[in-house]
């Protein structure tokens, strides 16, 4: 596809948005050799099998992989079904319950479907590390772990930190980097990618490959995308993620909810908008010549289009504008069939609970008191208000939760 690029051009292209590149010289040599021999590079990315829902954070590194593919190289998407049992000690993750073979298969399928929204299936190999790690005998484990020293492993910053703080480190956690490194050996990886938090693990791969007489892999790390909260890295467990399979409206809205500041990072990491152009937009926004909201809307639309379609993006935008800028009603909303007849008097708070818009009467009353509840567009502020049931009406809580209520007569006139 872009194999006409010179090696230097390729390097520059691949370096874009990369935090660590260890070592650039090695990569250049590998690229040159690949061109000379016609043998594609083997570019590895490891993934945990436990969370198969990809979010935008994952796509940063996937986009980088795609660049390699576009240059004709092979991507090895490694599903860590064995290492998943250990759980990468990065972060606070607790011991994970082992997944069944079936669950893993199912997750892998989900992965494939999602990953191929970005990667080219023709140039992607899917692997499972249980294939070699799962069959290692105890003796082999001992021989393997003998190749790495404790000091090497404890260099890892978070291990040191935990040691300092007196936090626990389980023995098996020390094995994680070794296992991951062994994957690189088995796969004979030329390059391994990961987020910056993976740097250490990726480097162990180099060491171990050397131990096994292989040429060390090139390590490439990309920044971690910050989540919608603008603070922590995007992660499903932090509840700040934007999944790539989320409905268009949801995705659009979530992108609109990131801060103006974070938006620039998203542009950088999730689009191909040239840096110079971004700088121009930013200057214009800061000077007040351009409304940052519009820049953000452009981003939202662009990303929704990438993962859904232009058409879906357009609709999501219209919907967003209608609800939030014009304070209107969504084009579609869930319907709740109220088991009550026209004319009946109902306490609003209870109706909210009954219809699932509030978890408890107390909460419902709070919402009403705070002015968050509208019935057919009219704000009801009396926490003890009653309403007279109409054939159909719209309940709204907050800015974005709508429910169309239908009472008995309208849904089933025969049953009266």
Residues that bind RNA (CB under 7 A): 166-170, 228-231, 239-240, 249-250, 252-254, 256-260, 291-293, 296, 320, 324-325, 353, 359-363, 366-367, 370-372, 383-384, 397-401
Q: Is the dihedral of CA 379, 383, 388, 391 positive or negative?
A: positive
- Select 65 or 357, whichever has its Cβ closest to RNA: 357
- Select 259 or 410, whichever has its Cβ closest to RNA: 259
Cβ proximity of 87 and 252 under 8 Å: no
Sequential DSSP letters for 126-152: EEETHHHHTT--HHHHHHHHTTS-HHH
Angle at the Cα of 63 from the Cα atoms of 60 and 67, rounded to 5 degrees = 145
Q: Minimal distance in Å, beta carbon 325 to RNA?
A: 4
Q: Minimal distance in Å, beta carbon 238 to RNA?
A: 8
Q: Minimal distance in Å, beta carbon 150 to RNA?
A: 14
- Select 17 or 230, whichever has its Cβ closest to RNA: 230
- Select 219 or 397, whichever has its Cβ closest to RNA: 397
Q: Minimal distance in Å, beta carbon 165 to RNA?
A: 8
Cα separation of 253 and 231, whole Å? 18
- Select 191 or 300, whichever has its Cβ closest to RNA: 300
Q: Minimal distance in Å, beta carbon 251 to RNA?
A: 8
- Select 215 or 376, whichever has its Cβ closest to RNA: 376
Cβ proximity of 306 and 299 under 8 Å: no
- Select 121 or 239, whichever has its Cβ closest to RNA: 239
Q: Minimal distance in Å, beta carbon 269 to RNA?
A: 17
Q: Minimal distance in Å, beta carbon 349 to RNA?
A: 8
Cβ proximity of 374 and 380 under 8 Å: yes
Q: How many CA atoms lie within 13 A of 178 on its CB side?
A: 23
Residue 265, burial from CB neighbour count under 10 angstroms (0-12, 13-18, 19+): middle
In 32-54, which positions are buried (b, 16+ CB within 10 angstroms) versus exposed (e)? eebeeeeebbbbbbbbbbbbbeb
């Amino acid at each position: 596809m872009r194999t006409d690029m010179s090696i230097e051009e390729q390097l520059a292209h691949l370096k874009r948005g990369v935090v660590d590149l260890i070592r650039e010289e090695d990569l250049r040599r590998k690229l040159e050799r690949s061109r000379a021999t016609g043998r594609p590079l083997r570019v590895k990315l490891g993934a945990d099998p436990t969370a198969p829902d990809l979010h935008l954070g994952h796509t940063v590194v996937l986009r980088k992989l795609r660049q390699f593919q576009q240059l004709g190289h092979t991507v090895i998407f490694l599903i860590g079904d064995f290492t998943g049992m250990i759980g990468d000690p990065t972060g606070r993750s607790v011991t994970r319950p082992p997944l069944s073979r079936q669950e893993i298969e199912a997750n892998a399928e989900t992965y494939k479907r999602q990953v191929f929204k970005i990667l080219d299936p023709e140039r992607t190999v899917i692997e499972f590390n249980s294939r070699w790690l799962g069959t290692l005998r105890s003796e082999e484990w001992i021989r393997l772990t003998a190749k790495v020293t404790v000091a090497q492993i404890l260099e890892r910053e978070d291990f040191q930190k935990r040691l300092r703080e007196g936090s626990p480190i389980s023995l098996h956690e020390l094995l994680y980097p070794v296992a991951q490194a062994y994957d690189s050996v088995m796969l004979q990886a030329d390059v391994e990618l990961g987020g910056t938090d993976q740097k250490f693990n990726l480097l162990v791969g180099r060491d171990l490959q050397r131990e096994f007489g292989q040429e060390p892999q090139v390590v490439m790390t990309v920044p971690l995308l910050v989540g919608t909260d603008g603070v922590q890295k995007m992660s499903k467990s932090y509840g700040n993620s934007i999944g790539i399979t989320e409905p268009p409206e949801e995705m659009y809205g979530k992108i609109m909810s990131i801060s103006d500041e974070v938006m620039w990072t998203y542009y950088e990491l999730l689009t191909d908008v040239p840096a110079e152009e971004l700088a121009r937009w930013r200057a214009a926004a800061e000077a007040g010549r351009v409304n940052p909201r519009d820049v953000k809307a452009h981003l939202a639309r662009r990303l929704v289009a990438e993962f859904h379609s232009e058409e879906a993006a357009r609709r999501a935008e219209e919907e967003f504008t209608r609800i939030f800028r014009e304070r209107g009603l969504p084009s579609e909303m869930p319907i709740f069939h109220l088991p009550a007849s026209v004319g009946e008097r109902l306490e609003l708070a209870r109706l909210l609970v009954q219809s699932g818009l509030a978890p408890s009467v107390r909460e419902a009353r709070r919402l009403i008191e705070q002015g968050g509840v509208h019935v057919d567009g009219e704000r009801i502020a009396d926490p003890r208000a009653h309403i007279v049931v109409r054939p159909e009406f719209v309940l709204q809580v907050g800015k974005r939760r709508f429910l169309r209520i239908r009472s008995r007569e309208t849904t089933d006139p025969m049953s009266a």
